[in-house]
Structure 1
């Protein structure tokens, strides 16, 4: 289906808007156009507030010369329901039936179907949701439960459509630019929701927040890469998406029990970093990378012995990375590894990210060891190529004296330096 054929509503030949004379009280007070949809208008649905149509109509009925008709108030939960764009106005004196068919409202513009977004939602449910995890139970959550949350929370739906758009663009490179722009637009609009509710996390909205943060991580990796992309940081500091994700993560950690008891609880129950110490735990299986990470930790402690502040920052980042390796190693073959791998970026200190922004060599060496963990997800379309991209940049930026500590990450990722990885006769090694 061509994007141009299914794009948004055409700008030409739109019908002029009629004035809203019988709009709800909320729209009138906000001085915005009400679509006068009954029993709740779309503006109230969008902002998740209870439309006061019933109160207005009840007052009109009470003051009418006709027999007053008491209209029931909407329950509080109805503010989250999405009603059809138009419904027949049963309060009208004339019959809503014309020749046996329901009469349409005079403006049919908002009854048009947005075929692009419908296609994106269908693609997410039938295809994209299967690319997030190999676990059948978690696939069902992403395919069924997450869209159900999206029908209640607009920002979740926007994130779903954004990720699905990039998935479509990945498989349809001839239309990639169209889908990328649509993904950016959906996510930009969706960001307003979490920003507004972050100060007011409740049992109801903590699960949607968690889903939004996970989809945001996917979206950020799935976006087309530029040569200077460094994933977590940019020239101006922490990347915007990671800054948001770190904020959401810090808040929803206190809501863990709420999420576990909700419809998406299975996404969390196998992964818990709280209180886990890879250096003292004897109950978790030992990952094969532990010896190498321990050697690097000892090197950091020696190298930074005269800089206690830097030592604490780098050792802390390594300890969090070691936790991620241990947790990933303890998971079953079908368990989702996305959360323990991406949680490292939310657990490291701001000071470490500041040093990574400045491309300090020790921070780059540690980041190279994280790139190995990220490379373990290279089979996923939205992660593919990131490990190789990062190790290429790190190798070019790190001081030569530290390159020996890049040998293991380079070999694990399978990347070959421009030197070919071997020293020619009479030349120095690329690791020196």
Structure 2
């Protein structure tokens, strides 16, 4: 047999055969790799007909291609497949719905999977992790959707609340005082207290919503913010009443500042016909003990007014704690702006500077005619002592509001800048000190009580630069004018002329 007849498989080297031919023949033949059958490979590798290395917790092929290996989803009863499932890089869990937002976020292994993986023996993690560039990005949705996660959000994020808090921190808080220190109190201390007491935070939301509604250019936005304001105000009132029944040193500061914001809300809220601030209208079918306002509707004390009464009891019982708290400076400055006590009031009223003013002369005239009419009236409700006390406290508010120390220069004419705390406290002092007996006379729409109340509108004009007080004095004067007869309308000519107001009818 000739050597050319030999196939490469049957050719053998002989002493006569040249070595280069044999080397070339052997080097041209490819070497076969050793093959080991995989009988326990994952299902994905079997379907793809590729070799599975059977590594745990997932084989290398599945890890490389970012698919979920069968080893991760196997039953927990077998040791080889006890590793919990890991989401694939291409899958995702549904995200927690956010108002006015949508996002598709990739998934992350749940906390329950991670906790069970930590109990596996060390050899289970012998397979190295894929490179960082191949790992899936973190997902908030998977954490929020995990049933056993401590980070689970039971409620969706309220974008409206975030918007209201941002508006309060950047705009509303700066409009509540002209004093830099007090501005920081409104901007920083109030929200911080709100994080501890829900009714404070809801009071912040309600006041901020009214602020946004006051400057909303779109009528739809204005209506939406007003609806939010009413809802937050109602929730704040309910929670405030509950907290007031459990007043203590821990929540007295929160009760104090929430009552102050509720007071501002009452002024800033849209004014309705028949609303004279202290007294609102109820539908005639409400029944109860409300007194008729003479127009088929029942009159009742405004829902915020009992809070002021509760505030007085809180400040009397927990004064030391409030002064040491985050809002102590607000109370101290307000107290100082009113002279620090009753003796200072008496000194101011009897001073020659005040006795020579036109305002004092008007109060002297008003005191004579009102007390004379109350004394002559046979109705036992017309108690002259009640009118005398109300006129005295109202005149004290005039003294400090019209004095150099108690007012912000130009506040009566400047419609853009906020007023100082001294003037705000002096204007509101009459309402804070008002007796319940006088409030009852206003609820009954007694003409003499309305005449006294009409003079309060002159003080309100000093706060017309505040957004929450704009139009309050003229609205209140119009409501009082409509309730008075022709004779008693002559008694309020002085406040009408001071306001420069003209009746609409």
Same fold by TM (over 0.5)?
Answer: yes
Preserved contact between residue 349 and residue 396 of structure 2 (Cα < 8 Å) = no
Q: Distance in 1 between matches of 2:474 and 2:98?
A: 38
Q: What TM-score, normalized to structure 1?
A: 0.70
Give 1 or 2 for the bigger CA radius of gyration: 2
Q: Deviations over 1:11-66 (max 9, x none)?
A: xxxxxxxxxxxxxxxxxxxxxxxxxxxxxxxxxxxxxxxxxxxxxxxxxxxxxxxx
Query: RMSD in angstroms over aligned alpha carbons?
Result: 3.1
- 1:134 paired with 2:220, answer no
Q: Within 5 A, what are the aligned runs for 1:140-159?
A: 140-159=184-203
Preserved contact between residue 299 and residue 444 of structure 2 (Cα < 8 Å) = no
For structure 1, the residue ranges without an aligned partner over 5 or more in a row are 1-6, 11-86, 420-432
Residue 106 (structure 1) aligns with: 145
Q: Deviations over 1:348-390 (max 9, x none)?
A: 2222112112221110111001111122111111111010011
Residue 78 (structure 2) aligns with: none
Residue 162 (structure 1) aligns with: 206
- 1:202 paired with 2:248, answer yes
Q: How many residues align?
A: 336
Preserved contact between residue 162 and residue 183 of structure 1 (Cα < 8 Å) = yes
2:420 to 325, 332, 335: 335
- 1:268 paired with 2:331, answer yes
Q: Distance in 2 between matches of 1:376 and 1:196?
A: 35
2:231 to 185, 190, 197: 185
Answer with 153-162 or 111-120: which moved more: 111-120
Q: Within 5 A, what are the aligned runs for 1:6-405?
A: 9=99, 92-94=115-117, 101=138, 104-106=143-145, 110=154, 112-172=156-216, 173-174=218-219, 175-234=221-280, 235-272=298-335, 275-276=341-342, 280-282=346-348, 288=357, 289-306=359-376, 310-328=383-401, 329=403, 330-333=405-408, 335-336=420-421, 337-405=423-491
Residue 75 (structure 2) aligns with: none
For structure 2, the residue ranges without an aligned partner over 5 or more in a row are 1-96, 101-109, 120-134, 147-151, 281-297, 409-418
Task: Answer 1 or 2: higher relative contact order, Cα 8 Å, separation at least 6.
Answer: 1
Deviation at 1:397, TM superposition (A): 1.9
Answer with 257-266 or 180-189: which moved more: 257-266
Change (3 A) 1:163 1:200: same
Q: Distance in 2 between matches of 1:301 and 1:246?
A: 26
Deviation at 1:404, TM superposition (A): 3.0
Deviation at 1:414, TM superposition (A): 1.3
Preserved contact between residue 173 and residue 186 of structure 2 (Cα < 8 Å) = yes
Q: Deviations over 1:324-364 (max 9, x none)?
A: 22333342526313333234223222221121122211101
